[in-house]
Amino acid sequence: MNTHQSSSRAAIEGLEPKGLWEYFYHLEQIPRESGNEEGVRRWLVEFAKKQRLEHFVDGTGNVIIRKPATPGYEGRSSVALQGHMDMVCVKKPGSTHNFLTDPVFLVRDGDWIRAKDTSLGADNGIAVAMIMDVFTDSEAVHGPLEAIFTVSEETGLDGAFGLDESLIRSRKLINLDSEEEGVFYIGCAGGNEIRGVNDAPATTEIPSSYTSWKLEIDGLKGGHSGAEINLQRGNAIKLAARILSAVLKSNIPLLISSYEGGYKRNVIPSTATVVFSIPKERSDELKVMVSRTESILMAENAVEEPELEVRLSATEPLQGTALSAKISASLVKALHVAPHGVDTFSKTIPGIVETSSNLAIITASPCGIEVVSSHRSSVESARDDVAERMMTSLGEIAGLETHVEGAYPSWTPNPSSPLAEFCRKAYAHYAGAEPVVTAIHAGLECGIINSKIPGMDSVSFGPDMEGVHSTAERLSISSVSRTAEFLRYLLKTIE
Catalytic (active-site) positions: 86, 153
Distance CA 73, CA 271 (A): 53
Tell the burial category of 364 from Cβ atoms under 10 Å away from its Cβ (0-12, 13-18, 19+).
Answer: buried
Give residue 88's Cα distance to chain centre: 6
- In Å, what is the CA distance from 161 to each residue of 56, 274, 407, 409, 441? 17, 37, 11, 10, 19
Which amino acid type is present at position 444? L
Spatial contact of 440 and 189, defined as CB atoms under 8 Å apart: yes
In 3D, which of 237, 171, 253, 155 has the Cα closest to residue 204? Answer: 253
Spatial contact of 324 and 367, defined as CB atoms under 8 Å apart: no
DSSP state at residue 235: -
In 3D, which of 321, 322, 355, 323 has the Cα closest to residue 341? Answer: 355
In 3D, which of 199, 221, 226, 195 has the Cα closest to residue 119? Answer: 221
In 3D, which of 333, 323, 363, 362 has the Cα closest to residue 246? Answer: 333
Q: Where are the beta strands (DSSP E) in 262-415?
A: 272-279, 309-315, 321-323, 341-345, 353-365, 368-377, 401-408
In 3D, which of 270, 62, 287 has the Cα closest to residue 162? Answer: 62
Spatial contact of 141 and 38, defined as CB atoms under 8 Å apart: no
In 3D, which of 216, 336, 201 has the Cα closest to residue 274? Answer: 216
The strand pair at 112-115 and 401-408 is best described as: unpaired
SS3 content of the chain, % helix, strand, coil (to 5): 35, 30, 40
